[in-house]
Structure 1
Amino acid sequence: MANYGLIGAAIAVVIAALTYGVPLFFAEYFPWRSLLKQRDGKPTVVTKSYSGRTALITGANGAYGSRAAKMFAHRDIDTLILVDVMDCGPLKEEIEAELSATKKPKANILVWKIDMMTFAGCQELGKKARELKNLDHVLLTAGILSFKRRESPEGWETSIQVNYLSTALVALFLVPLMKSSPTNLAPPVLTFVTSFGIYPTSYTLSLPKRGSYLKHLSNNKDGLQQAHQYGRSKALLLYFTRELAARVSTAKGLPQKVTINSADPGSSWTPLTSPNQDKLIPRLIMNFSARDPRYGAAVLVNGASASADAHGQIMQDFDTAAYPPFMERKSGHVAQQRVWEETRAEFEAKVPEIKSVYEMLHGKSDK
């Protein structure tokens, strides 16, 4: 009888683990329901016309950025700014040819280059943006995926440099410059790009007992640690986005309130993700969830066109998504403050002109 009791107890443990443990595991590390929903989703751009407005896209030569640029252009955008480390001249010519062929109004397309490996490159973008009369939509798609560890000239692992630090710095330069055009009755929108890649790397994001959190994540090694860097850099960006949204809500001195959000385009086979073809698990995940990148681009454009209700939200195909579970815990909010404060210290030390933006976001008493 005792053996039967032990067997029964073991079965109960297994059932409990399958009933509760497995769903919890997937909620933490692999949001398969969301990925499946995105794979089958076919969103389109909701806004019919961007007439009179200005949109700026970083990573404009990328699979998402280039498609998003065309979506804005084919919906009557007045001024379109294509920003990339590579020359966007050919993309500009392609868009102009498409508009001419369809007899649509030609947009004023500006081509700007940016070096996102350096803070100076971000500063240069900020200076150029001061020339704009209005800035309605900012879509920050620029990013890299690197399986080999390298350091930027600023001393950071390159994924964290480009996907997090430089993207955050660009946002800080642009937010005070954002202002809706006369034809746009909604607040201007700045949209970051987030990723489900945050989830499988979440167990590597715990705070160190001492020292810099950012340096702890940047001072990684090749191999498995480097394979996590894309997700970790995107987690840092999501922490920053949520804090920036909260700060903007109470900031004084902005010419206009700005909607800050994130958009999750889902997954697609693109030049950025193509290295995953050679890696079994990433390839299986991509094959499970990938869709045509035009649908992801539509999500991003919709995110950058969202109403003020989307402030601080994560936008997906047809609705908003919850923040990852680890970010909602007390430890996640502690980590968010560390990310914000350490990032501020890094930027103010190397980019002194950004101090005025932080003062606006914090209040002068917080200098």
Structure 2
Amino acid sequence: MANYWLPVAGAALIAILTFGIPLFLAEYFPWRSLRDQRLGKPTVVTKSYEGRTVLITGANGAFGSRAAKIFALRDVKTLILVDVMDCRGVKEQIEAELGEMNKTKPNILVWQVDMMTFAGCQELGKKARELESLDHVLLTAGILSFHRRESPEGWETSLQVNFLSTALISLLLLPFLKSSPGNPSPPVLTFVTTFGIYPSSFTMSVPKHGSYLKHLSNNKDGMEQAHQYGRSKALLLYFARELAARVSIPGDGIRKVTINSADPGSAWTPLTNPNQAKLIPRLIMNFGARDPQICATALVNGVSASAEAHGKIMQDFDTATYPPFMERKSGRMAQQRVWEETRSELETKVPEVKPLYEMLARKSAL
């Protein structure tokens, strides 16, 4: 009898090694993508941003500040640095470096934003009204919270900043996206995504009853909080894909615009450095980590993409696939749920977005 089960067990082991492990990795650990990013050396595709206006949230961060310098080196006309912190230091660095190279300095605006509140995001939207054009919007702002806290709006802070406030800012800026006279391409709005969505996906089951967003927000410290960054980014990716689908439908009220997401890859930065003390996160980070300058370059290419990149995930010079769980029928249903629940929350607390949501709803019904 034992001799009978031995080949069966061997066959089962071979099946697991041949099919099970690759399937598991495809769902939760995209190692090929991480390897390719670690080895990748993207360069900036667009040679000049002369006459254009660029807005960057998280401009005081490792990626945002480097992206700002890339734009400044390539003759951007107006550079808007947005962060919860004062970005005057970044502005002074850019101006000093350009002065040493005898290059023309752009018009650099420094705006602060409180992304813990919807009112703070609304203030950013009001400032954008003064812009004559807005060619590129790069939304890099985000937080990594290891302990559960709630925002003044009643949401777990990762979901508040990385998802809800970022989604709100995109809606508030959407009407002001307009290419400058010298820019032949549609304006681009780029969300920032991450491989952290993959391992977080197994904690993102949709409840049969009640609010999906509240289900994810009412989490606990420990495993759920450890995955909260990835979960918040997964919600944002759902939102970005749905927004892109609705904006791409012909109709009045919204100019032609490219909406995409960009995956910069991973790097050791002040945001991720706390993971140095944790064995598994450190090993995962080290597998794919690269220079923050390269990550910033990938983001600049993402927010400079052509109209063909609409609705896609940009990764270095190429596009990447959506995570498997988002491509299934259950993922499409979750996306609709995220869109509708987000709409309900934002329309309730930020009534000024209601006309835009109504217009997007009409476009989707065409």
Work out whether the TM-score is over 0.5: yes
Correspondence for 1:224: 223
Correspondence for 1:143: 142
| CA-CA distance at 1:255 after TM superposition | 4.9
After TM superposition, the score normalised by the length of structure 2 is 0.98
Give the secondary structure class of the aligned counterpart of 2:111.
strand
Structure 2 residues not aligned, in runs of 5+:
none
| CA-CA distance at 1:17 after TM superposition | 0.6
Correspondence for 2:246: 247
* Alpha-carbon separation, structure 2, partners of 1:282 and 1:232: 16
* Alpha-carbon separation, structure 2, partners of 1:310 and 1:294: 22
* Alpha-carbon separation, structure 2, partners of 1:76 and 1:256: 25
Structure 1 residues not aligned, in runs of 5+:
none
| CA-CA distance at 1:364 after TM superposition | 8.4
Relative distance call for 1:251 and 1:164 in structure 2 (3 A) is farther
Counterpart contact for 1:78–1:107, Cα < 8 Å: yes
Per-residue CA deviations over 1:192-234 (Å, capped at 9, x if unaligned) read 0000000001011110011000000000011111101000000
Correspondence for 2:25: 26
* Alpha-carbon separation, structure 1, partners of 2:99 and 2:64: 21
Correspondence for 2:357: 358
Correspondence for 2:76: 77
Correspondence for 1:55: 54
Correspondence for 2:295: 296
Per-residue CA deviations over 1:322-350 (Å, capped at 9, x if unaligned) read 00000000000000000000000000000
Per-residue CA deviations over 1:14-55 (Å, capped at 9, x if unaligned) read 001100000000000000010011001111111000000000
Counterpart contact for 1:82–1:112, Cα < 8 Å: yes
* Alpha-carbon separation, structure 2, partners of 1:222 and 1:256: 43
| CA-CA distance at 1:359 after TM superposition | 1.6
Counterpart contact for 1:196–1:266, Cα < 8 Å: yes
* Alpha-carbon separation, structure 1, partners of 2:322 and 2:362: 27
* Alpha-carbon separation, structure 2, partners of 1:287 and 1:194: 19
Correspondence for 1:88: 87
Counterpart contact for 1:251–1:360, Cα < 8 Å: no
Correspondence for 1:36: 35
Relative distance call for 1:325 and 1:182 in structure 2 (3 A) is same
Correspondence for 2:257: 258
| CA-CA distance at 1:3 after TM superposition | 3.0
* Alpha-carbon separation, structure 2, partners of 1:281 and 1:251: 47
Give the secondary structure class of the aligned counterpart of 1:320.
strand
Give the secondary structure class of the aligned counterpart of 1:138.
strand
* Alpha-carbon separation, structure 2, partners of 1:169 and 1:197: 22
* Alpha-carbon separation, structure 1, partners of 2:131 and 2:118: 21
Matched residues, number: 365
Counterpart contact for 1:179–1:255, Cα < 8 Å: no
Give the secondary structure class of the aligned counterpart of 2:339.
helix
* Alpha-carbon separation, structure 1, partners of 2:299 and 2:335: 24
Letter of the structure 2 residue corresponding to residue 190 of structure 1: L
Correspondence for 1:163: 162
* Alpha-carbon separation, structure 2, partners of 1:174 and 1:232: 24
Any residues of structure 2 matched to 1:187-336 within 5 Å, and which?
Answer: 187-250=186-249, 252-336=251-335
| CA-CA distance at 1:251 after TM superposition | 5.4
Counterpart contact for 2:239–2:338, Cα < 8 Å: yes
| CA-CA distance at 1:4 after TM superposition | 2.5
After TM superposition, the score normalised by the length of structure 1 is 0.98
* Alpha-carbon separation, structure 2, partners of 1:232 and 1:364: 28
Counterpart contact for 1:251–1:362, Cα < 8 Å: no
Give the secondary structure class of the aligned counterpart of 1:260.
strand
Correspondence for 2:101: 102
Correspondence for 1:113: 112
* Alpha-carbon separation, structure 2, partners of 1:274 and 1:364: 43
Letter of the structure 2 residue corresponding to residue 160 of structure 1: L
| Identity in percent | 75
Correspondence for 1:337: 336
* Alpha-carbon separation, structure 2, partners of 1:165 and 1:314: 20
* Alpha-carbon separation, structure 1, partners of 2:97 and 2:282: 34
Give the secondary structure class of the aligned counterpart of 1:77.
coil
Counterpart contact for 2:249–2:364, Cα < 8 Å: no
Correspondence for 1:349: 348
